[in-house]
Amino acid sequence: MTDCVFCKIAQGEIPSGKAYEDDLVYAFHDIHPLRPTHILVIPKKHIASLAETTAADEPVLGRLLSVAQRLATENGSPEGFRAIINTGRIGGQEVPHLHLHIVGGATPVGPMLNKA
């Protein structure tokens, strides 16, 4: 997708702190990290959000999760991490290209959510 910042990152058109790449996914350090470890893992192909996926996307969805443990361990969060996929307006998604946040570090990331 031409105007998508994460497509441009995956294609190397916008610089990023690359953490990992394979045939299906690209991972890079979040520009505004919320924890010492904060990596985004994205499909290389444009998928707007988790809500736009179908069964045909199962290989890439599986890959997003299967690389998470290794990325966390290699990037300062070997004792666990949190994986987050914000989806749509209610989920607080800001960038309309599916991404998995991996957040962690040496200390616990904290409560999952604050009560609304």
CB 78, min distance to Zn ion, A: 30
Q: Which 3 state secondary structure label does DSSP give 10?
A: helix
Which CB, 53 or 86, lies closer to ligand 5GP?
Answer: 86
DSSP-assigned states of every residue in 23-65? SSEEEEE-SS-SSSEEEEEEESS----GGG--GGGHHHHHHHH
Q: Which 3 state secondary structure label does DSSP give 14?
A: coil
Q: Which residue is nearest to Zn ion (CB)?
A: 4
* 115 lies in the binding site for ligand 5GP (CB under 6 A): no
Annotated active-site residue 99? The verdict is yes
CB 22, min distance to ligand 5GP, A: 18
User: How many residues of this chain interact with ligand 5GP, rule: CB under 6 A?
Assistant: 12
Helix (H) or strand (E) holding 101, with range, is strand 100-104
Looking up tokens 């989806």 gives: 87
Residues that bind Zn ion (CB under 5 A): 1, 4, 6-7, 46, 97
* Interacting residues toward ligand 5GP by CB under 6 A: 5, 16, 28, 30-32, 40, 86, 92-95
